[in-house]
Chain A
Amino acid sequence: MIWFKLALKNILRRKTRSIFTLLGIAVAITVLYSLLEFQKNYERGLRDELYSLGAHIMVVPKGCPYEAATIALHGGKWPRYINEDNMARILKQPGVGKAAGIIMDAIFDREIKRNKIYLGIDENYVSLRRDWKISGSWFPDSNSIILGSTVAVEENKKPGDEYFLKEKNITLRVSGVLQRTNSQDDGFYFLPQKTMQRIFGLEGKLVVILIQARDIEGIDKLTMTIKENEKDLNIFPLSELLTNMTRIIQSTKVFIFAIVLVAVLTAMMGILNTILMAVFERTKEIGMMKAMGASQADIFRLIWAETVIFGIGGGIFGILLSVIMAKIIAAFLTTILPYAPKGTLIGFSWSALTVSLIFSLIMGLLSGIYPAAKASSVKPMIAIRTE
């Protein structure tokens, strides 16, 4: 105990210097922890969102496929369309099990200061969404609307209520409210497809077609066939999308790892500098310890204990900082990525905590080697004479 107390008290002698050193380590560990969490949650979130579509193949208009995928998953306005003729042709392909065309648009609401996403769907869409449960009923007529669970709460609407779409000056009746799906659907407004096309002036247009293959083994063959027949469209299996998205993240990860590396090296230099200065300041004291019987190994261990305390302390502080600042860090990371799934991107996990703590321990151990060696090589007689 006195050993630990001695090391801890040595650190606390120079509070300001120690706090800044600790902050340096904390920042490095915050970046590392956030990266680990983000990496894990991003891939899981992306996979969940793609699988929740209930489809194997996505068909979108020509253009950036990732932008299209983002629109298809999170909704939005994309001024490129697919004709319903394409949909009719695709449906005739023998390998197609189910297919659903979707039209979507977004209207910016000045009051809530964000886009409201409207989706025009038909029964085919519901057949892909096996987990859908509607409180109320499916569209009984063309002037109906189904609200996602989050939207229904925000709008304070229940089945039977009127919904006034003020931008289009039209009143619709809420026929149903979607029970929570924990997917992007919770935040959408669903209209009958023909109604949506009429109100938004998009007759005969679709934004995305989702295809479920008749059998999984036939996905690649079906993709090739549709590609040959629909040369003016982008067709890709969702597994390919997942792979490509993950690959983009991998390349981003190299960049973020470079940031982690710089932060870690800077923090290690901070520990090294702080402890080395402390060793120089305490030369007499170290000499006295040796005079009292401390061996080289004892002094090495004492100085090393100080750097390890710095490492572990900074690590714990860094993890706390990441959890507290999770939303801000996640928001920053999503701005530099082409696509980010919804949900928690940085949270708490034992695996990230363990890796971060081990990393901070290694940081402490490595950066302590030189100051500890320097201190342990102090000659007691010379140290005591030092002014």
Chain B
Amino acid sequence: MAAKPHGRWIAALLLGAGLLILVAPFYFTFVFATHERAQIFSAPPPLWFGAQFLGNLQLLTERLPFWRNVGMSIYVGLMTTALNLLLCSLAGFAFAVYEFRFKRGLFACVVGSMMLPSFLNMIPGYLVVDALGWIDQPRALYIPAAAGALGIFMMRQYIASAIPFELLDAARMDGCSELRIFRSVVLPLLGPALGTLGLITFIASWNNFVGPLVVLRSVEQYTLPLALRSMQSPNNTEWGALMAGSAIAMLPLLLAFVFFAKRLVAGLTAGAVRG
């Protein structure tokens, strides 16, 4: 196992350089968020934090209904997450513990739907939402995304491995209905899987750009990514304010990552390891 010492140094150096390149844009987002535009575009650009963060926030709230946009992102994210937690665990439960007709075919549909590239749905999905009269409404985002196939897949795997089936039979003996079994016996045991699914669902919703771009129209309804992009203009972009907004868009994910890094990575690769 002992590599030659200089080989090890070179490898460590390369790894460190890679880390620097990966982390630098995040660092600059937060640094630039605390400077005015004129300072960001001066030579050399600022490398350390300034005092302009509140000023940038002020600018942001003048140009955009910024806090409303943040609230929109949170609202859509929470609705999507809550619906997915409920519907995916229900469907995952059904696929994991019941024997029923067409089960294999139906499950194949779930898995198959994961393979469909999302751009295929962009135009007809928009038309459906339009036909329903949901344009410019948050429900156009959270209802179509309310039961993700990946979530069902994840929950099925987890329930199959973590729930002792004797427990379900015992509950049936006691006269519990199936829904009651799900609610009182299964759901309380799903904590870790729900946590992972909740995290990745919320993050996907929080970062979603194409979805809102297609269905939202007015700036009051914009989610954060769309609002930030709408502030970008060819000539007169307030970059400091925009960086402050970007920093706020990054912050929850950075925090989530610091606390739940392992769980997130495991959840996101769940499909891969099984496949």
Tell whether A and B belong to one assembly: no
